[in-house]
Amino acid sequence: MDRSEIMSWIKSIAMAVIIAGAVRYFLFSNIVVHGESMAPTFANADKVIITKTTEISRFDQIVFDAPDTDQHYIKRVIGVPGDSIEVKDDVLYVNGKATEEPYLAKNRAALLPGQKLMGDFTLREKTGYDKVPDGYLFVMGDNRLVSKDSRIFGLIREDSVNGEVQLRIYPLSDIKVY
């Protein structure tokens, strides 16, 4: 190989690294799930792909910078700006309407008679606000009995969101598009 061919290879490899870095930084990223707060939707050590360009909506599963540690959390968006949130008799009310949460079915089925997934609360009791303010989200894990979420640490800033979960890639037997 002569010098010009070597330089051509170096340029090609450098360009590939730059493009891969830009895609990872601006468009997609892979994340490993830690903990059981989103079970059974996601289990500990599941690997997911997030997109960084989608608009976040109610009930999306997102990854964000944890407000209380240097880690990332994965939770479900329950309230977006302008929403009022209340749980009464284990039913989630968003803007005064009872909300179906089919992703909680397995956890509900495992409850003992009379046991609830969540205690009753209002958004005001947990955050001091009647409605989710602009620039913030209210999030909860699907495993409500063990999840550390907005019921504990309050609202999260929208700018702390790393992305929306789009695809589970591991374990291979559970690959799924969201």
Q: Given the residues 75, 126, 147, 150, select the one marked as catalytic.
A: 75
Question: Is 147 known to be catalytic?
Answer: no
Question: Is 37 known to be catalytic?
Answer: yes
**Structural contact between residues 93 and 87, judged by C-beta atoms closer than 8 angstroms:** yes
Give the tokens for residue 86. 């209340």
Q: Given the residues 4, 8, 37, 176, select the one marked as catalytic.
A: 37
Nearest CA among 42, 58, 55, 135 for reference residue 93:
58
Give the tokens for residue 169. 């890639």
Which stretches of the chain are DSSP H helices? Answer: 3-26, 105-109, 123-127, 150-153
The catalytic residues are: 37, 75
